[in-house]
Structure 1
């Protein structure tokens, strides 16, 4: 997947500014694809150059004109082509998991501190996903079925990670207990 496809997905139903797209990345597609404001604006420029999106200027008082982007027929064709193609397996890059894999070179207290930080982030993300899903459930889940299904995946991922974190904590605490009960030689 590329950023271009994520942007085209967001533009498939309505026009949006770069700022709107960045906000949507934070609230929906960001569950599965991260992008900075700068990356979004750069990609919008490329998509415009390739005639996959067009924009219109909206004058604003005291601010630069806003650009509202919309998908073109060429963009829809590209999105359709991409949607029909099998997805590549996701690449995983998780620095914390590498730290866990190398945990024998660290002390349990250091790992637990970082685990706690990661757990806080995951709980916050889970709360956000659950709130968004509840809002869709209450209002228009059928209309936004695919957004809802994406949120459900995010919810399940976070719940699973949190269960795994509990296992890690228990294992590390047991490791610490065993280390402290081993008599030291004189």
Structure 2
């Protein structure tokens, strides 16, 4: 997560709240983090002199901390970017449910599948709108963000295609077992 935060801070300073919003809207395509995780990591990065912050007074609220990348943080980010990434780890509880589906109620699986498909369609729409915005703003300034969003779009489309196959297969299997 530390490198995801450093990536988000590479071009501009941001508050913890801003970073959480960016995790939800952009880097969240590939890395999830809670507010608590972000603030905890910001504290560690600050202790390691990879980020620094300045206080910004706010009316009627506590001061806001705006974080920025330090030279040490930029050097760490560059070092990390040069290293090969390890294989992606997948943790998908629904896939485990599908794997154990012979013990499950098919209708429950189908219902959960439809809920997840709805979420994926919403995420796809968000990603497509973001890709269009990045394209409209000019890819020369947004190329790497655009490429990341495109991956998110393709992931959502592939998942939805798989979900349709699962739905059809389970519905067909249910009809076949009901007539046996």
For normalisation by structure 2, the TM-score amounts to 0.98
| 3-state SS of paired residue (1:65) | strand
Partner of 2:33: 35
Question: Which ranges in structure 1 are unaligned for 5 or more consecutive residues?
Answer: none
CA RMSD of aligned residues (A): 0.7
Determine the C-alpha separation between the residues in 2 that align with 1:170 and 1:107. Answer: 16
Aligned partner of 1:67 among 65, 68, 90: 65
| Higher Rg of the two aligned structures | 1
TM-score, normalised relative to structure 1: 0.95
> Equivalent residues in 2 for 1:31-180 (5 A)?
31-180=29-178
Runs of 4+ in 1 over 3 A off after TM superposition: none
Partner Cα separation in structure 2 for residue 94 and residue 159 of structure 1: 17
SS of residue matched to 1:68: strand
Q: How far has the Cα of 1:107 moved from its partner?
A: 2.3
Give the Cα–Cα distance (whole angstroms) in 2 for the partners of residues 61 and 150 of structure 1.
Answer: 37
Question: For 1:55, what is the secondary structure of its paired residue?
Answer: strand
Hey, what's the Cα distance between the residues in 2 that align with 1:143 and 1:120? 32
